[in-house]
Structure 1
Amino acid sequence: MAGSTGGAEAAGYRPLLFSIAYGMTGSVGDAEDIVQDAFLGLTRAHQAGTEIAAPKAYLTTAVTRLGINYLGSARVRRETYVGDWLPEPVVVTADRPGPAEHAELADSLSMAFLVLLEILSPVERAVFVLREVFGYGYPDVAAITGKTEPNCRQIFTRAKRRIAAGGQADSAPLARRAEGEELARRFFDAAAGGDMDGLLDMLAPDVVFHGDGGGKARALGTPMTDPRRVAQLLVGGLRRVARLGASLRPARINGRPGAVIHDAEGRVVSVVELQLTAGSVHAIHSIANPDKLGHLGPVSDLARLPEK
C-alpha cells in the first residue's frame, strides 16, 4: 500500500488518520475502513495523473469528510441502540501491543470524552476534534471541513459550550501513568477478591458505572451511580466469570488503566476502562457487546444473552 500511495511518508500518516477517524466515529473497525478508503482515493488520484502536492492534507481532508458522512447514518442507528452506548475500545496490553499505530494518538480519546462528543452534530464534531484534540489551526480546519474560517470559529465556540454543558470528561491521559496503573491493579485485585471495603475506599462518591451490551450481552440498561451497588456488581460479575475459568489481564484502554477479561480459552469476554480522578475511580466503562470486541480477536460467548 505504501508504494502505491506515495511511499513511506504517506503511510506514516496512518496513526494520525486513524485517530481522527476514531475520534469522529468511536468505532475501530469503521475508522480503519475510513482510513483505507482515504488511501484508496489517493491511489486513484495518482493513477489518474493528478499531482497531490500535500498528501497529508489530502488524506486528512478525506478522512474527516468521510467521518462526517458516516455520522449521518450512525446517528440514526445509535438512537435505536439497546442500552448504554460506548465506543469500541482501543486496547494495548503487554502481550498484545497492537494495533501499535493506533495507540499513541488514540490515547487522547477516552471513553468519557467520546461519549460526550455524541451530543455534537457531525460538522461540530469534526471541527472540535481537529481543533481541540489535534491542535489544527482555524485555516487548516476550514480547508479540511470546507467551511470558512469565521464559521469554524463559531462552530468551535458553540461545540465547546455544548461540551461544557454536557458534563466533565477526562480528555487527556493521566499525567502519572504508573500511579494510575497501581490504583487500577489494587482496584481489580479488590474486586476479584471480594474486598467490598477496599473497593469502596477507591470508588469516588459520585462514581458512575456504564455497561454496554448492545442487547447482545449481559449489561446494565442504564448507568449505575451508587458506590455500594457498583462494588457489589463488580464483585458479583468477577466471581461469576472466575467460576467459568475466566481471567483478567491489565491493559491500557483508550490510554486509561483498565483490563481485558478472557475466558478459559483466551477469547475476549469484555473490556473495562477506569476513569481516575484525584486518586479514586470516578467512572467505569465496561464493554461486553461482542460486535465491539471482534477487532481484539476471538470473542467468548460467556457474556452473550441466550437466543430467544
Structure 2
Amino acid sequence: MSRGTRVGGRDSLPGAADATGATGYRPLLFSIAYGMTGSVGDAEDIVQDAFLGLTRARQAGTTIADLKAYLTTAVTRLGIDHLRSARVRRETYVGDWLPEPVVVPADGPGPAEHAELADSLSMAFLVLLESLSPVERAVFMLREVFGYGYPDVARITGKTEANCRQIFARARQRIPAGGQVRDSPPPPARRARGEELTRRFFEAAAGGDMDALLGMLAPDAVLHGDGGGKAQAIGKPATEAPRVARMLVAGLRRVRMLGVSLRPAWVNGRPGAVMYDAEGRVAGVVELDIADGVVQAIHSVVNPDKLRHLGPVSDVARLPGK
C-alpha cells in the first residue's frame, strides 16, 4: 500500500479522505478509536483503515447516504475487533497498564484530533474501561462519552436497542465513575489554577520539599507507573500521600541526575508534563488528576512503546536488554 502525508504520527492515505469530504470527521473518529483502544497509534491506524474502506466502497459504486454514520460505524466495529485481538496481550502485560498519553503542549492547541480528545477522557477513566468487554466498551463510550442515542448506538454496534440498553446498564454498574466521564473544556481561570498547582507541585518534588508536596497531595493519593517491563517504573500503584511524596522526590532526583527535564503539557485533558533527556528525546509523560485543589492521582508513562508517537524516545529509563 502506498503511503502519503504524516498525520498525528501515522501516515495517511493520499487523497482517501479528501476525495470523499470525510476529513472533517477525523477528530471525532480518532476520539472514538482512542477511547476504544487507549492507544494513539492504534487509533490512527483504525481511522486510516476506515477511510480506506470508504474509498473502496466508493470505487465499487456504493452509495453512502450518511458519511458520518458510515465512518463512525466502521471505526467502532474496527475498534471492537482490535480489542478482541488485544485481550491476551493486555492480560499478560508487565506491570501497571496505562493508555498511551495524548499530549497537547501547554503553549499551543496541538493537532485538532488530539485537542478535541483532550477534553474527553482521562487516563484514570480509560483504565476503568479495561474492565468492560469490547462490545460493552463500545456501547458505553458511544452513549456516555459521545452522547449517541440508543437508536444510533444500536445501528453502529449491530445490536438491538433493547440489548444496548441492557449492555449500557450493566457497564454502568461496573464503572464507578460512570457519571463523571466527560469534562467540559476547562475555563481559563480553572486551567490557570491547574497549571499553577502543577508548576508548584513539580518544583516541590524536584526540590525535595516534602511539606509542600504533602500540602498538595490528597491523603489517599495514588501514584501509577507504566514501564511495560521495558523501562524503570514502579511495579504496582503506590498509595497514601507520604509514600507517594517520597517516591516522587526520589524519582525526580534520579532522572535529574540523568539530565532529564520536565516541560509543562496537557495530558488527556489534565495538567502534566513531558520529560525530555539532554538530547531532547522523550523520556516519559506525567499526568496529574486534580480535584478540590489537590492532586488525587499521578499517572506516569515511561514505556518507550507508548511514547513513539510523541517523537524520538530516550533510553535513559530503559531496562538492560529491552
Could you state the TM-score of these two structures normalised by the residue count of structure 2?
0.91
Q: Is 1:269 equivalent to 2:269 in the alignment?
A: no
Cα contact 1:2–1:8 (8 A) shared by 2: no
| DSSP-derived class of the 1:307 partner | coil
The structural deviation recorded for 1:185 is 1.1
Distance 1:167 1:188, change over 3 A: farther
Distance 1:226 1:236, change over 3 A: same
Which amino acid is 1:37 matched to?
Answer: D
- Structure 2 partner of 1:26: 38
- Structure 2 partner of 1:56: 68
Q: Is 1:118 equivalent to 2:161 in the alignment?
A: no
Distance 1:148 1:12 in 2: 29
Distance 2:109 2:237 in 1: 30
RMSD between aligned alpha carbons?
1.8
Which amino acid is 1:172 matched to?
Answer: D
- Number of residue pairs matched by the alignment: 307
Residues 267-304 of structure 1 deviation map (CA, whole Å, 9 limit, x = unaligned)? 01110000011000000000000000000000001111
| DSSP-derived class of the 1:257 partner | strand
- Structure 1 partner of 2:183: 172
The structural deviation recorded for 1:132 is 0.4
Q: Is 1:255 equivalent to 2:266 in the alignment?
A: no
The structural deviation recorded for 1:74 is 1.3
Cα contact 1:112–1:170 (8 A) shared by 2: no
Question: What pairs with 1:141-220 in structure 2 (closer than 5 Å)?
Answer: 141-164=153-176, 171-172=182-183, 176-220=190-234
Distance 2:106 2:163 in 1: 44
- Structure 2 partner of 1:290: 304
| DSSP-derived class of the 1:102 partner | helix
Cα contact 2:31–2:113 (8 A) shared by 1: no
Cα contact 2:16–2:52 (8 A) shared by 1: no
Cα contact 2:270–2:288 (8 A) shared by 1: yes
Distance 1:289 1:2 in 2: 31
The structural deviation recorded for 1:171 is 4.5
The structural deviation recorded for 1:4 is 3.7
Cα contact 2:221–2:240 (8 A) shared by 1: yes
* Structure 1 gap segments, 5+ residues each: none
Cα contact 2:118–2:267 (8 A) shared by 1: no
- Structure 2 partner of 1:75: 87
The structural deviation recorded for 1:189 is 1.1
Distance 2:15 2:100 in 1: 30
Cα contact 2:120–2:181 (8 A) shared by 1: no
Distance 2:60 2:178 in 1: 48
Could you state the TM-score of these two structures normalised by the residue count of structure 1?
0.95
Distance 2:181 2:195 in 1: 16
Distance 1:168 1:263 in 2: 39
| DSSP-derived class of the 2:239 partner | coil
* Structure 2 gap segments, 5+ residues each: 1-12
- Structure 2 partner of 1:15: 27
Cα contact 2:106–2:266 (8 A) shared by 1: no
The structural deviation recorded for 1:94 is 4.0
The structural deviation recorded for 1:80 is 0.4
Identity of aligned residues (%): 77
| DSSP-derived class of the 2:22 partner | helix
Which amino acid is 1:281 matched to?
Answer: V
